Structure 1
Amino acid sequence: MSKHVFALATAAALLAGCSFAPTYERPAAPVEASFASHGAPAPVAGQTSAADIGWRNFFGDPRLQRLVELSLQNNRDLRVAILNIEAARAQYGITNADRLPTLNAQATGTRARTPADLSILRQATTSGQFTVGLGVTAFELDLFGRVRNLSEAALTQYLSTAEAAASTQISLVAQVANAYLNERAADEQLVIVGRTLEARQRSLELIKLRFDNGAASELEFAQSNALVQTARADLAIALRNRAQSTNALVLLIGQPMPADLPPPQPLYQQNILADVPVGLTSDLIERRPDIRSAEQTLRGNNYSIGAARANFFPRISLTGSAGTSSSQLSGLFGSGSQAWSFAPQIVLPIFDNGRNRANLTLAEVRRDISVANYEKTIQTAFREVADTLDAKATYDDQIRATEDLVRASQRNLELSDLRYQNGIESLLQLVDAQRTLFTAEQSLLQARLQRLNNLVQLYKSLGGGWSETTAAPAPAPVSQLR
């Protein structure tokens, strides 16, 4: 037996490197090589990339930093993503275990009595068999790489899941930042509406006094009262938006808002890093987890083709055992009790009604689909970065212009109010000035919010949000952790 076993082991060793998986080549990126056409500065040698900038260094507001920290501890979506990594790792362990034989300790014992009328000798007999040993059950000699390719495909699934979890964390950090900024904007909107309501109520009181003394018409009083009721409705909307924005933030951090949070900072004082290094498209491909996850899926489908091709070739499996056997329990370890069995099996596909061919076609189609998905992921990532860069260049100008508009509207309201009090202008012109200022203040608030959200989106689009601090090392692509 030993010669046969040695010959089979030698053949397995010689053919262990055989694999029918296609040679993997990363598809060319279907986008421009850089973001220069979208206003991005040229990369600087030695400059820290956006993916290496820690979220504590990117977000300067201590309250926001604390909220991000809580979300990373408690968010259920992130928890599920991490558990999916554990599940994928376990699945890889199950598949990879098939590459080595499974060795089992075996112990069996039987005892039987045959009655006299069933015995040839016409007398009752008692027999027994006891066996102790080691056994190998149906171990496949992976001569054509089927098992190895299945194991590699399971590994890429695990790596893809790990990258997806990293992408979930990056998205979570951005979502918390956006939700916090929206809450700050809702809070400031509440202040604007409240201040406007107070101003309109004062105007209404003055007009009512004039109306009672015959110096103002009923139409003027009705118009002023309509403005007050409009402001009251706006206040109700602002209160609702403020409550809902807080609820969204509570969901993301996974717990009620703590009472010991640092005080919030207004939007115009948010210290968010404005100059984020953009780099080249190749940097984006290497650092964004969703792109790396799509590439791992592509690699896995490549290995699946190899496994499907191997199904066309013979499959050899070994079953065997070695130990001691005796008819008496006391004789198990006596001289001459050694026992062994060896049962190789070879299966050669002859006719399967096209099943193997269909499985190979399916694997090839899935590989082509994953190529298209990989390229689309790159294109989507490129567009996200390009959109934020194009927007970034315009927000500062928009905010400066809107700030000037607010100052001009405030002066216009002051003059209109003065002229109305002196009877030079009608109430209609005063009402128009109040509306203009209210609209300008809202526009300025929205412009500031959009600028900050755009910076957060740029940070996320470049793969930022994984590291806590810039000093911490950026994670190597999970594909290298092999």
Structure 2
Amino acid sequence: MRTKFRSLAGVAAITALGLALGGTPASAETLREALTRAYGSNPTLTGDRARQRAEDENVVIQRARSLPSANAQANYTENVVLPPNAITAPERSISLQGQIEVPIYQGGSVRNGLRAADRRVDAGRSVLRGTESSVFSSVVAAYMDVIRDEAIVQLNQANVGVLDVNLQATNDRFEVGDLTRTDVAQSEARLAIARSQLQSAESRLIASRERYIQVVGTPPGTLEAPPPLPNLPASPDSAVETALADNPDLLAAQQRREAARYDVGVANATRLPRLSAVTNGQYQNYLGTFGTNVPGVSIAQTQKSATLGLQATIPIYQGGGPSAQVRQAQAREGQAIEGQIEIERSVISQTRSAYASWQAANEVITSSQTAVSANRLSLEGVRAENSVGTRTILDILNAEQELLNSQVQLVTARRDAYVAGFTLLAAMGQAEARDLGLDGGALYDPVTNYKRVRHIIWDWDSDPKPEPVATRTVDTPAQNPSVTPLPKQ
């Protein structure tokens, strides 16, 4: 049984993949809430659901070819110029004609067309699964980007504050002759660089928040650290094994291959006989204008006729068209076969790469945590040694920069590990709504629409006029880089 994402929401401890730098407010926004909003209102996902509903209709269209068809034709005729030698010359007439045709045998084209349409419906459902995974991966990346960039802005703000204090202290010591102008210049330069780094970090934060709005539909609030990811594999081989069985893109390719095989049968039917039962009825009324020049002779003003029979069409020669259609369908089946192998290769590569990225990011987390601890201790030592004259201001500045770099690297590695882990789950086919236990109502089921439309045979049926499902973001405010400052150490 798959571990549900919802069961992890109550985890209080921040795991190795958590990114929070401090406590989380009670009103913080969770990753599941962001995923739920995107599930209901992301236009990529809602648009793909509409595409799948359109795909469902191809089954109805194919089945319609096997059902009876009926049509009627009406004509009204005015004879404005009558032939002078005509014995009977009606001035006007109305004619009605109806025909019913019942297909009996069409060479297997309907049967194979229906099977192909059904396989493409299955492929479309797998594509929809892949779209869910892709959208959720984008949401997770955007969510983690905001958390990362907020943390980096906080770290840079804190660094600017420290360097500002350092510059003031350096100026004070310069005034009393304890330091040189060079020390002051070094402090000023490092502070200027720190401020430019802060501005760059703030720009990246704004971009991340705007990207979050794009994929989720609402501005990010205070984002809670995400829960640990479930069901991550123990090895790349086990990840690939799961991906080959569950990856939606690969399943869609397999189903498209099956559909292409049935298309060959449809093409073969173009050179086989077709048989239908046909009935015709005709009614004509001359509206009392059908007369004769022979005295004492009257002519009926209406005519009726009806026929019932079988109509067989036996192709004899069609200029090579059917064989070309068969070869074309076979070539497309070959293309689908090769396409399946191509996607299989891609899935294997993506899965192994995601696994490697996830493992590497976890290793970077461990190394960065060690580096942060060591750099923090080093900075304290350099400051103490500077106070007794064995270290320079430049040594302090370098130590502070190394600490900042290691902190940024740690925050980035935590983001990369979580995103890589979710990407790995997506490649394995385990990053969809059914796997994540999303709240907010029943999940969208594409089978419901398929069952609804499959047996509709009424020509005048239609759905309500389409209305937007996705939310627009035109009214969302432009984002800014404001963050809660880190507590002073």
TM superposition score category, shorter chain reference: 0.7 to 0.9
What does residue 136 of structure 1 align with? Answer: 100
Q: Could you tell me how far apart the structure 2 residues matched to 1:245 and 1:75 are?
A: 17
Give the deviation of 1:323 after TM superposition: 6.8
Q: Kindly provide the amino acid, as one letter, of the partner of residue 313 in structure 1.
A: L
Consecutive unaligned residues in structure 1, runs of 5 or more? 1-46, 330-334
Compared with structure 1, are the counterparts of its residues 92 and 58 closer, same or farther at alpha carbon in structure 2 (3 Å cutoff)?
Answer: farther
Q: Indicate the residue corresponding to 2:326 in structure 1.
A: 360
**1:398-428 alpha-carbon deviations (Å, 9 max, x no partner):** 3233212111101111111121122111223
Residue 241 of structure 1 and its aligned partner are, at CA, apart by 0.6
> How far apart are 1:147 and its partner, in Å?
3.0
After TM superposition, the structure 1 = structure 2 runs for residues 64-463 of structure 1, keeping only pairs within 5 Å, are 64-104=31-71, 106=72, 108=74, 110=76, 118-121=84-87, 125=90, 128=93, 130-131=95-96, 134-136=98-100, 141-254=104-217, 256-257=218-219, 263-265=222-224, 269-276=225-232, 283-316=242-275, 319-322=278-281, 339-340=306-307, 342=309, 344-352=311-319, 354-463=320-429
Note closer, same or farther for the CA distance 1:93–1:351 as it changes in structure 2 (3 Å cut): closer
Q: CA deviation at 1:385?
A: 2.5
Change in Cα spacing, 1:215 to 1:328, as seen in structure 2 (3 Å) is same
Sequence identity (%): 17
How far off its partner does 1:90 sit?
2.3
Amino acid across the alignment from 1:387: S
The 8 Å contact of residues 59 and 273 in structure 1, kept in 2 or not, is answered as no
The one-letter amino acid paired with 1:97 is A
Asked if the contact 2:95/2:284 (under 8 Å) is kept, the reply is yes
CA offset digits 1:95-120 (Å, max 9, x no partner): 3211222134x363646568775353
Inter-partner Cα distance in structure 2 for 1:365 and 1:185: 49
Distance 2:363 2:81 in 1: 105
User: How many angstroms apart in 1 are the aligned matches of 2:446 and 2:270?
Assistant: 35
Structure 1 residues 24-43: aligned runs within 5 Å: none
- Inter-partner Cα distance in structure 2 for 1:168 and 1:418: 56
Aligned amino acid, residue 378 of structure 2: N
Any conservation in 2 of the 1:82–1:165 contact (CA below 8 Å)?
yes
Contact 1:313 1:349 in 2 (8 A): no
Offset, 1:386: 2.5
Q: What amino acid does structure 1 have at the position aligned with 2:384?
A: L
1:263-288 deviation per Cα after TM superposition (whole angstroms, max 9, x unaligned): 422xxx53222543676756434432
- Rounded Cα–Cα distance in structure 1 between residues aligned with 2:366 and 2:247: 34
Which deviates further from its counterpart, 455-464 or 111-120? 111-120
Change (3 A) 1:128 1:274: closer
Q: Pick closer, same or farther for the CA change 1:228–1:341 going to 2, 3 Å.
A: same
Matches of 2:386 and 2:324 in 1, distance apart?
85
User: Which secondary structure does the structure 2 equivalent of 1:321 belong to?
Assistant: strand
Residues 37-79 of structure 1, C-alpha deviations (whole Å, 9 max, x = no match): xxxxxxxxxx42xxxx555446678522221111122211112
Distance 2:79 2:331 in 1: 62
- TM-score, normalised to structure 1's length? 0.76
Aligned length: 415
Q: CA deviation at 1:184?
A: 0.1
Deviation at 1:190, TM superposition (A): 0.5
